[in-house]
Amino acid sequence: MDIVYPPACICCGELLSKERLHICAICETKISYLQEPCCLKCGKEIEEDDREFCSDCSTLSRTFEKGFPVMCYEEPISDSLAKFKYAGKRQYSTYYAKEIVKKHGRNFYDLGIEALIPVPIHKEKLKKRGYNQAKILATELGRLLDIPVDDGIIKRIVNTLPQKELDNKKREENLRNAFIYTGKIVEYKCVLLVDDIYTTGATIEACTRVLKEQNIRNIYYTSLCIGKGN
Ligand SMILES: [Zn+2]
Ligand SMILES: [Zn+2]
Ion ligand 2, residue ranges at CB < 5 A? 39, 41-42, 44, 54, 57
pTM of the model: 0.94
pLDDT tens readout for residues 1-44: 455 567 899 999 999 998 899 999 999 999 999 999 999 999 99
**Dihedral (C-alpha) 205, 95, 160, 179: value to the nearest 10 degrees?**
-40
pLDDT of residue 168: 75
For residue 227, give the ligand nearest its CA: 2
pLDDT of residue 192: 98
- Domains observed in the chain: 25-226 (3.40.50)
C-beta pairs of 55-60 under 8 Å, 24+ apart in sequence: 55/229, 55/230, 56/168, 56/200, 56/201, 56/229, 57/201, 59/168, 60/168, 60/169, 60/172, 60/201, 60/205
Instruction: Give the residues across from 197 on adjacent strands.
Output: 225
pLDDT of residue 169: 77
pLDDT of residue 4: 56
pLDDT of residue 176: 85
Q: In order along the chain (230 residues), what is the average pLDDT of each group of 10 residues?
A: 72 93 96 96 90 93 97 97 95 97 98 98 94 98 98 91 70 86 96 95 95 97 89
Q: How many A from CA of 83 to the centre of ligand 1?
A: 13
